[in-house]
Structure 1
Amino acid sequence: MRPLLTMRWEHLLFLHWPVDPDRVGETLPEGLSVATHDGRAWLGVVAFTMPDIRPRGSPYGLSFHEVNLRTYVRPESGGPKGVYFYNLDANDWLGVLGARAAFRLPYYHAEMRLSRVDADTTGGSVDHDPTFRFLSRRRHPGADPARVDLVFRPTGDPAPGEPGSLDEFLAENYRFYTGSRPWYCEIRHDPWPLQSAAVTVRENGLFEANGFEPPEGDPLVHYTAALDVRAGRLRRVDD
């Protein structure tokens, strides 16, 4: 794969909740089916920052925060499991417009902030276990003003998901699918160095903004400090 974009993702937080596969299937475009693990579909809220996202050949890059709501799918015609995005909110208008044009993705502009929290609200030591707060409020014209407010503290040692495990199912996806035909884009990176994390979900408006009931119970949580990523160009599934 010849990369179209190179990116660095930092302070990435995965929050996942199990969902009825039939409910998820109702929301997918023709040509995609729900991917499940042990009979369950999953919806994930993923928040992170990209300090350097750069088109091929460009000496300049963009930097912005992002939060998305996703699930996991397979093309009905056959092919690898991948990510399907319901929304991708980012705090850079140029990045939003570019991603909508180049990748046909449902990007929305939002106000966002990722900051170090001085007073730890999740039980860790401020000196040795840094706590972060991720805030997002969508400002895209005509879109639901979805809000996200997360406080989190990484814990444990980083390690890749075991083959066949739920951790691997949720993290190791090397395509995303979009559009109604559908289209796909290949993604390349090293295996995710996953850590556990303590999280307080103060607000999560992304489920309701995308027509889902608010999630029940605590999420399954993973954290990664940093990962370098490459993305190819958009292709049709039947190409």
Structure 2
Amino acid sequence: MKQVWNDLLFAHWPVNEDELLPHIPQGLELQTWEGKPWITAAPFYLSHLRLRGIPSLPFASHFLELNVRTYVMRKSKPGIFFLNLEASSRLAVAGARTFAHLPYHFADMSAQYENDKTTIHYASMRKQTNTDDTIFSGAYKPVGTSSYQAQPGSLLHWLTERYCLYTLNSSGQILIGEIHHLPWPLQEAELRLDTNTLTNYHGFPLKSDPTLISYTKKLEVFFWPFQKF
């Protein structure tokens, strides 16, 4: 499967291991950087989604997405584990939950551009029962026009340059999905965060602004079918 990720913000927070560990499935090892696990929120606009050999499907090839992920390892292979994913396409959500076993949810989402399309006002709200709504809203923009790649050995490289993700199938078995893309073309960024309750229902609210942020204008990404691992 191919996707293109556009106007993506990486917002990273260190969190307490005791709060995050209960959400990591048995068989995956929670990774830490200098003793702390990290959470990342990534809002973006997804486009050109299509399966190999099949044209893009109407109403499911372009939509807004926001994911919350952390960093894990299995059999010495580092990867990503998603705590939740939100998308503005009901069809895409149904397909991802059914065929990729990923925790997608439909959300009311919007992205508005201003200042010659350099500032993105991004909002996502997922209605929930018996808990507070899951809300992310704010505005972000790149700083300058030059991009860079994260240096190997740096925290930013550890957070971004990962080429597989893990999930569970309906039987509780761990699946791995391999990912391919060029190194992230990162830019410095600014973020005004208005509301963030993305992790509240997991039991650990993110009470502060992110420690580290970056922006990527565009990245083509390829996914291989999930396999048991």
TM-score relative to the length of structure 1: 0.87
* Aligned residue number for residue 156 of structure 2: 167
Q: Pick the aligned partner of 1:228 from 212, 220, 224.
A: 220
Deviations 1:10-45 (A, max 9, x none): 000010111123332222110011111222210111
Q: Pick the aligned partner of 1:116 from 105, 108, 113.
A: 113
Q: CA RMSD in A?
A: 1.8
219-228 or 33-42, larger mean C-alpha shift: 33-42
Q: Pick the aligned partner of 1:149 from 137, 141, 145.
A: 137
What amino acid sits opposite 1:12 in the alignment? L
Corresponding residue SS for 2:157: helix
Gaps of 5+ in 2: none
Deviations 1:112-138 (A, max 9, x none): 111113xxxxxxxx35x8211111111
Q: CA deviation at 1:139?
A: 4.2
Q: Pick the aligned partner of 1:192 from 184, 193, 198.
A: 184
Q: How many residues align?
A: 222
46-55 or 210-219, larger mean C-alpha shift: 210-219
What amino acid sits opposite 1:151 in the alignment? A
What amino acid sits opposite 1:188 in the alignment? H
- The question of whether the paired residues in 1 share the 8 Å contact of 2:19 and 2:203 is answered with no
* Aligned residue number for residue 120 of structure 1: none
25-34 or 137-146, larger mean C-alpha shift: 137-146
What amino acid sits opposite 1:49 in the alignment? Y
The CA distance in 2 between the partners of 1:153 and 1:141, in whole Å, is 33
The CA distance in 1 between the partners of 2:78 and 2:186, in whole Å, is 20
Large movers: runs of 4+ above 3 Å: 139-144
* 1:21-170 matches, cutoff 5 A: 21-61=17-57, 62-75=61-74, 78-117=75-114, 126=115, 130-139=118-127, 145-156=133-144, 157-170=146-159
TM-score relative to the length of structure 2: 0.91
* Aligned residue number for residue 194 of structure 2: 202
Corresponding residue SS for 2:3: strand
The CA distance in 2 between the partners of 1:44 and 1:215, in whole Å, is 14
- The question of whether the paired residues in 2 share the 8 Å contact of 1:186 and 1:233 is answered with yes
- The question of whether the paired residues in 1 share the 8 Å contact of 2:68 and 2:83 is answered with yes
Corresponding residue SS for 1:58: coil
- The question of whether the paired residues in 1 share the 8 Å contact of 2:197 and 2:205 is answered with no
